[in-house]
Amino acid sequence: MTDEPSTNPTHESADVDAAADDADEEVSLSILISRKLRAQKLTETRIDLLLCTYLSGKLQQEILAMKTRLEEIEKEAATMREMREAQEREAKAIAAVAAAPADPDAMETEDDRQASDDRSVYVGNVDYSASPEEIQAHFQSCGTINRVTILCDKFTGHPKGYAYVEFADPAFVETAVSLHESLFKGRLIKVTMKRTNIPGFTRGRGRGGFRGAYRGGGRGGGYGYQPYRARGRGRGRGQYA
């Protein structure tokens, strides 16, 4: 019985198939990894793009918010500036009113005021219902009168009970003083020379005022009650020039 060399084609074929399968598997894995890498790279790029877009939008929002806040701050600053300017204007107006002379005719110098006081008399214990025209009528015999001022309380506007009579010439003052303790509207009035250095004899806010010369006839008009003012337009009871 002759022995023939034994062959095992099944095993050899199996080995070849296994090697081929391994090669195919390696190729497939490489392709898969490559695809995954490519896919991952694409994803990262996309993520970077999305992130850049997000950050850009976020930055724009922050810039817009900053601009909005800046505009609000500027508006608040403008409002505060306007309020401050309004307060300054109001303070200046109040200061101007406080510094303004009681007589609205003109700003008087110290010399003018002294000259006016030298031509004036103080009249005390004046009835509260008295008008500038009535006081003028009481002193008209003394000489030409420039102005009559009845002093009023600056808070209530009520007469204080005294007045000033300004004459056209200082010589008339002495005659007017002679009417001291004369009867006027049922009261004995006090009449003294007005002096700027006498406390309480300064100009104040009063009412009314007769301006002009009384000459017993002619044209003109009187000045009546006006709170907080040295003069005011009112009723006339005589003939003035």
d(CA 159, CA 123) in angstroms, rounded, equals 13
Contact 146, 215 (CB under 8 A): no
C-alpha 83: how far from its chain's center?
5
DSSP, collapsed to helix, strand or coil, labels residue 121 as: strand
Tokens of 68: 């909005």
Gyration radius of the chain over CA positions: 54
The residues, ordered by sequence, that sit 6+ positions from 126 with a Cβ below 8 Å of its Cβ are 135, 150, 159, 161, 162, 163, 184, 185, 187, 189
Contact 103, 151 (CB under 8 A): no
pLDDT at residue number 142: 93
d(CA 126, CA 185) in angstroms, rounded, equals 8
pLDDT at residue number 72: 92
pLDDT at residue number 184: 94
Q: Which residue has the tokens 């200082």?
A: 170
Q: Which amino acid is at 57?
A: G
Residue 138's nearest CA partner among 194, 182, 193 is: 182
Question: pTM for this structure?
Answer: 0.41
pLDDT at residue number 63: 85
Residue 118's nearest CA partner among 181, 45, 174, 186 is: 174
CATH of 111-193 given 3.40.50.920, 3.40.50.720, 3.30.70.330, 1.10.3720.10: 3.30.70.330
Taking 3-state DSSP, the helix, strand and coil percentages for the chain, each rounded to the nearest 5, stand at: 50, 15, 35
Q: Which residue has the tokens 């309380």?
A: 153
d(CA 105, CA 157) in angstroms, rounded, equals 21
Tokens of 61: 């929002």
**What does each of the 241 residues of the chain score in pLDDT, given as a tens digit?**
455 555 555 555 555 565 556 556 655 655 665 555 555 555 656 656 656 776 677 788 888 889 899 999 999 999 999 999 999 988 888 888 777 655 555 556 777 788 888 899 999 999 999 999 999 999 999 999 999 999 998 888 899 999 999 999 999 999 999 999 999 999 999 999 987 654 444 444 444 444 433 333 333 333 333 333 334 333 333 333 3
Contact 211, 181 (CB under 8 A): no
Handedness of CA 210, 178, 130, 120 (dihedral sign): positive
pLDDT at residue number 40: 57
pLDDT at residue number 81: 92
Residue 176's nearest CA partner among 112, 119, 116, 114 is: 119
